Amino acid sequence: MLISEVQLINHLITDLPALERNRLLAECELVDLVFAEILTEPNEAMQYAWFPNQGFISLTVPVDKSSNLEVGLIGNEGMLGNTLVLGVTIAPLHSLVQGAGQALRIPVANLQQQIKQSPILEAMLKKYLYVTLVQLSQTAGCTRFHLVEARLARWLLMTRDRAESNEFRITQEFLAYMLGVRRVGVTRAATALHKRQLIKYHRGNITILDVKGLEASACSCYKIDKKTYKRIMQ
């Protein structure tokens, strides 16, 4: 499928003026995001940058030899590879596809050339990098101080925003892996949300039943992240 045949909903791309957007799209290719596909490894050179159109990407850091902790989630609001705006081509984090979909992919050298040619693109990516840094810091505090139930509610809302759907599939094992807790902790938190009829959870299929109620159950980090993005990017 050609890029021209796809409805573009990645905000970074659609918010560019037509000239900059068309120049950038001319260097991109449309690719599938396959669930659990690893896109970058920390301390390794990046070959591409990705602008998700549908689907979403998880950013994680290794905690020990057997587990990682999720520190970020990227959907159609952003991109993977924003440190390229600093001229850094080494990936800072492990990234893998958490929600299947499609993305616009551009080689690193091509994006860097586009950044040099377009002050507008450069300014936008710098603002998005700032947003990412704030969100990473917020997640660090959230992981340290907030309860698993509130963190799970936040994660479900973040995933809903990026999946643009109230239904998605995720196993408890994967949730525990992402949140950096034991599976029993995720089970208790999910059960509590289910009993309050905020979500329905069955064999890895999650349905959000009450968005407002889930927002009330989430920690303040969710609203802080959204306000930061809106204030800086709009």
Q: What would the pLDDT profile of 117-136 be if each residue is shown by its tens digit? A: 999 999 999 999 999 999 99
* 37 DSSP 8-state letter: -
CATH number of 145-233: 1.10.10.10
Per-residue pLDDT of 183-234, as tens digits, reads 899 999 999 999 999 999 888 889 999 999 999 999 999 999 999 999 999 8
- CATH 1.10.10.10 residue spans of the chain: 145-233
| Whole-number pLDDT of residue 46 | 98
Cα-Cα-Cα-Cα torsion 87, 91, 92, 94, nearest 10 degrees, comes to 160
Q: Environment class of residue 158 by beta-carbon count within 10 Å: exposed (0-12), middle (13-18) or buried (19+)?
A: buried
pLDDT 10s digits, 18-30 = 999 999 999 999 9
pLDDT at 2 over 90: no
User: What pLDDT sits at residue 177?
Assistant: 80
Kindly report, residue by residue over 71-89, the tens digit of the pLDDT.
999 999 999 999 999 999 9
**CATH code, residues 3-118:** 2.60.120.10
Q: What is the pLDDT at residue 179?
A: 87
**What digits encode the pLDDT tens for the residues 162-197?**
988 899 888 888 888 878 888 899 999 999 999 999
Distance between first and last Cα of the chain: 31
Alpha helices in 26-104 (DSSP H): none
* Whether the model pTM is above 0.85: yes
Distance, in Å, from the CA atom of 33 to the CA atom of 38, rounded to the nearest integer, reads 10
Give residues with Cβ within 8 angstroms of 187, minimum separation 6: 172
More confident residue, 153 or 177: 153
Domain with CATH 2.60.120.10 in the chain: 3-118
